[in-house]
Amino acid sequence: SKEIECPLNKSELGNHTWGFLHTMAAYFPEQPCMEDQRDMAQFLRLFSRFYPCPTCARDFSKLIDKEPPRTGSQNELKHWLCWAHNQVNKKLGKPKFDCSKLDERWKFGWKDGSCDIEKALCFV
Ligand code: FAD
């Protein structure tokens, strides 16, 4: 029998959103043109304004004001986002993620081969 699909709670929305954001960063151009750099910074500001969890949105907007997104390269963006996610982890009492593992987690799969990597986006 098929499970009933229900509106997202805060945790589900967050989990899916981080998946989207980290995957997007993993595929951001390595050397973005000025327009891409500007638009990605703008996207993250607008995203935080409309994120449908008011406390999350407010705190994330403040974080962006204090520490603006770094969009000068794929590497900068990935690491800025990892840092930002770790700030949220800290606030929620979740463990800090090791940012040296970003590409294994979000792009190429774990080095021990435990991911079904042929289905990953980097192969399409
Ligand atoms: P998540 O935190 O959703 O992480 C998903 C996966 O990402 C993890 O399993 C891990 O593999 C990986 N990961 C973890 N840390 C990092 C990192 N630093 N870099 C890269 N990958 C990482 N919830 C609240 O209750 N209050 C808030 O104020 C709040 N603010 C949020 C703001 C934003 C912008 C977003 C997107 C979400 C926010 N959330 C907030 C939701 C919260 O961050 C979690 O998504 C939610 O609690 C579910 O947690 P999770 O255990 O599934 O892991």
ipTM metric? 0.99
Distance 21 CA to ligand 1 centre (A): 11
Q: Which two tokens stand for residue 65?
A: 């004001």
Domains along the chain?
10-123 (1.20.120.310)
DSSP letters for 21-56: HHHHHHTS-SS--HHHHHHHHHHHHHHHHH-S-HHH
**Ligand 1 atom nearest residue 81's Cα:** 19
Q: What pLDDT is recorded for position 102?
A: 97
Reported pTM: 0.96
The pLDDT averaged over each successive group of 10 residues in the chain (124 residues) is 89 97 97 98 95 96 97 98 98 98 95 86 72
Q: Which of 16, 18, 97, 110 to mutate to test the pocket of ligand 1 (most atoms within 8 A of CB)?
A: 18
Report whether 117 contacts 58 (CB < 8 A): no
